Amino acid sequence: MRSRRLLLVLAVLALTLGVAGALRRNDTTAGRTTPLPAAPPAQVGGAEANVVTGTLPADRVVRAKVGDTVRLSVTSDSPDIANMPELGLSSPVGPQIPGTFEFTAYAAGRFPVTLSLAARAAGEVDVSK
């Protein structure tokens, strides 16, 4: 019985992710008037970028600088979808399934991380110059 319930939860989560992904693909170009900043060219032989790691919601705010590589782990007590809407990123999360994001911070700003199904904030990434 327990395994059937787990399979049902995973099936619902997979379906939700599929629908959310399809909707997100349709929303990403609607209303966008400014292009996303282009990635700077790779530096050959230069110093490696700083890697910033964080866990949400435990850290609440993860601080990074422009050019840093951000590795973020998002946890939730129930199955959900973690989103970073400004960056177009999403990842499934659950009690034993941390959602992970990895990106290079190309622009300064505050980037919220939300849990879609719980309709609440998990925290944010604060990128400074």
If pLDDT is split at 50, 70 and 90, which confidence band does 1 have? confident
Q: Where are the domains of the chain?
A: 49-128
Decide if 94 contacts 78 (C-beta within 8 A).
yes
Handedness of CA 86, 87, 91, 94 (dihedral sign): negative
CATH number of 49-128: 2.60.40.420
Strand partners, 115: 82, 120
**Separation CA 75–CA 63 (nearest Å):** 18
pLDDT, one tens digit per residue, over 24-72 is 544 444 444 444 454 454 444 445 569 999 999 888 999 999 999 999 9
User: Which of 10-43 are b and which e, b meaning 16 or more Cβ less than 10 Å from the residue's Cβ?
Assistant: eeebeebbeebeeeeeeeeeeeeeeeeeeeeeee
pTM of the model: 0.61
